[in-house]
Amino acid sequence: MIGIPLIKIDVSEYGVDMKKIAKLPRPICSSCGLIKRYLMNKVPREMEANKIATGHHGDDFLVFFFKNIMGGNIEWIAKFTPLLKSSGKSIARIRPLFFVGNEDNEKFCNAVELPYIREELCPYINFKRKIDKSRKKWFEIINQIQKKKPDFRERMVDGIAKLAKRIYSSLEKPRECKLCGEPTNAEICGFCKLIEMSKNKK
Ligand SMILES: [Zn+2]
C-alpha cells in the first residue's frame, strides 16, 4: 500500500522443515519464534538493511514483561526497548509502536482501513483453535488496571525500557555461532540446534 516491496522467504531454503519441527518435544510456538527471530535478523542484514522495525505495541511488551518476570527469564527483558542498537551481526531493531496501546492501535487500523489478521491460526496446533488466548487475557488485565490508573501503560513501558537498558549493559556480548556464524550466546545457536534436532525426526 505504501510502495515498499514485500519480501517473502521460504524457510525450507534455510533447512527448516516445519512438519519435523512440530514433532519435537518442545512448544511449537517457541520453535517458530526462534526461527522468526533468526531469519528476521539474517535475511535483512544480508540485504544490507541496517534496521528492522517490528509492529509490537506497548501492551505486547507489558505482556512479555509479566510473562518473562513470572518465568524467571530476566535476560529477555534486556530487549524490551523502543530501540535496540546494532551489535556485531545483530542489526538494530526499532519498535515505532512501543508507547502505543493495543486499543489505540486497533482503532487507528480500523480508522484508516488498514487490513490486519484478526485470528491467529496455526496449522501445527489445532487449526480451529485460536492460539493466543493467554495474550488476550493479559490485554484485558492491562485494560482493567489502565481504567483505574490511567497513566499505568505509559509509565510501565517507560520503566521497562529503563530496566531493559540496565539489564542489557550487564549481559555478555553475543558471539558467533560455530556452525552458521550468526549471533548467539552459546557455542552453537538455537537455530542450528533446532535444525539438527529436527533432522533426526521422521
Ligand atoms: Zn547457528
Strand partners, 90: 87
Q: How does residue 132 score in pLDDT terms, banded at 50, 70 and 90? A: low
Q: What is the CATH number of the domain that holds 133?
A: 3.40.50.620
CA distance 135 to 70: 14
Average pLDDT over residues 41-67: 93
The confidence score (pLDDT) of residue 37 equals: 93
Tell me, what's the pLDDT at 162? 94
Q: What is the 3-state secondary structure (H, E, C) of the chain?
A: CCCCCCCCCCHHHHCCCHHHHHCCCCCHHHHHHHHHHHHHHHHHHHCCCCEEECCCCHHHHHHHHHHHHHHCCHHHHHHCCCEECCECCECEEECCCCCCCHHHHHHHHHHCCCCCCCCCCCCCCCCCCCCCHHHHHHHHHHHHHHHHCCCHHHHHHHHHHHHHHHHHHHCCCCEECCCCCCEECCCCCHHHHHHHHHHCCC
Question: Would you state the pLDDT for residue 131?
Answer: 52
Residue 173 pLDDT level (bands cut at 50, 70, 90): confident
Give residue 182's pLDDT band: very low, low, confident or very high (50, 70, 90): very high
CA of 10 to the centre of ligand 1 (A): 18
Q: Please check whether residue 126 lies inside any domain of the structure.
A: yes
Q: What angle do CA 64, 53, 194 make, to 5 degrees?
A: 60
pLDDT for the residue numbered 103: 87
Number of domains into which the chain is organized: 1
Residue 82 has pLDDT above 70, yes or no: yes
Q: Is the model's pLDDT at 128 over the cut of 90?
A: no
Q: Quick check: is 5 in a domain?
A: no
Distance 186 CA to ligand 1 centre (A): 9
For ligand 1, the distance from its centroid to the CA atom of residue 80, given in whole angstroms, is 23
Question: Per the domain annotation, does 3 fall within a domain?
Answer: no
What per-residue confidence (pLDDT) applies to 73?
87
pLDDT, residue 26, reads: 87
Q: Is residue 83 part of a domain?
A: yes
Which residues is 52 bridged to in the sheet? 93
Arithmetic mean of pLDDT over the chain: 89
Look at residue 118 in the predicted model and tell me its pLDDT.
74
pLDDT for 200 equals 84
Does the residue 4 lie in any domain? no
Residues lying with their CB under 5 A of ligand 1, a single-atom ion: 177, 179-180, 189, 192
Band of the pLDDT at 181, cuts 50, 70, 90? very high
The alpha carbon of 189 and the centre of ligand 1 are apart by a number of angstroms equal to 4
Give distance in angstroms: CA of 177 to centre of ligand 1: 5
| Distance (Å, whole) CA 89 – CA 67 | 28
23-32 residue pLDDT tens: 899 888 889 9
Q: Per the domain annotation, does 149 fall within a domain?
A: yes
CA of 181 to the centre of ligand 1 (A): 6
CA of 191 to the centre of ligand 1 (A): 6
Residue pair 40/53 in contact by the 8 Å Cβ criterion: no
**Residue 19 grid coordinates:** 512438519
Using the mean position of ligand 1's atoms as its centre, give its distance from the Cα of residue 141 in Å: 38
CA of 8 to the centre of ligand 1 (A): 21
Nearest to 93 by CA among 46, 54, 47, 38: 54
Lowest mean pLDDT among 41-55, 83-97, 132-146: 132-146
Q: Which residues pair with 40 in a beta bridge?
A: none
Confidence of residue 180 (pLDDT cuts 50, 70, 90): very high
2: in domain: no
- What's the 120 CA to ligand 1 centre distance in angstroms? 29
Q: Is 153 among the domain residues? A: yes
State which residues form the domain around 122: 12-197
